Amino acid sequence: MTVQLGDRPMLDPQVALRPERFGALAYHFGNRRLSFLKHPDLVTVVRSLDGRTTVDEAFDTAGVEERRRPAFLRALATLTDSGILTVEGDRAA
């Protein structure tokens, strides 16, 4: 799935994040998938996604520079594909 700046994803309720030196481990208790969040900035973004905050707002809050955003969008898409993040409802207008 492609994640767009206007999307309002959230951490799936069945996911636990465990802080690590490199970022965090995300474990989904429902599908038993383990994902590595390999940068503290990505962890900050994921933690701020609450289903109301857009991806763009999360990037701004975390101070993610424009040049880094495409890589972060790919990472968020991977986390969505694995069920770590969910996007409910329609995309933001």
**What pLDDT does residue 77 have?**
96
> What is the chain's pLDDT, residue by residue, as a tens digit (93 residues)?
889 999 999 999 999 999 999 999 999 999 999 999 999 999 999 999 999 999 999 999 999 999 999 999 999 999 999 999 998 754 444
| Domain ranges for the chain | 10-84
Q: How many CA atoms lie within 13 A of 3 on its CB side?
A: 28
**What pLDDT does residue 93 have?**
42
**What pLDDT does residue 88 have?**
72
Tell me which residue of 84, 75, 12 sits closest to 40, measured CA to CA: 75
Q: How many CA atoms lie within 13 A of 64 on its CB side?
A: 25
**What pLDDT does residue 89 have?**
54
**What pLDDT does residue 90 have?**
44
